[in-house]
């Protein structure tokens, strides 16, 4: 996520998730924030 400008939808499909929503749920469980929030906080 930190090295690409691909959308969360594109990344979720590439990673083999059935839906972007499921990818976001799993990402948040492991990272503590949504993919969008993660990207937003990279600039800090």
- Identify the band that residue 35 occupies on the pLDDT scale cut at 50, 70 and 90: very high
Residue boundaries of the structural domains of the chain? 8-41
- Identify the band that residue 43 occupies on the pLDDT scale cut at 50, 70 and 90: low
Task: Give yes or no for a contact between 17 and 26, defined as CB atoms under 8 angstroms apart.
Answer: yes
Region 22-36: what's the mean pLDDT?
Answer: 96
Region 1-21: what's the mean pLDDT?
Answer: 93
Instruction: Please return the burial class of 39, using the count of CB atoms within 10 Å of its CB with bins 0-12, 13-18 and 19+.
Output: middle
Dihedral sign, Cα of residue 38, residue 41, residue 43, residue 44: negative
């Amino acid at each position: 996520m930190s090295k690409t400008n691909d959308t969360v939808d594109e990344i979720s499909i590439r990673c083999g998730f059935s839906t972007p929503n499921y990818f976001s749920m799993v990402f948040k469980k492991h990272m503590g924030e949504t993919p969008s929030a993660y990207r937003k906080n990279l600039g800090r």
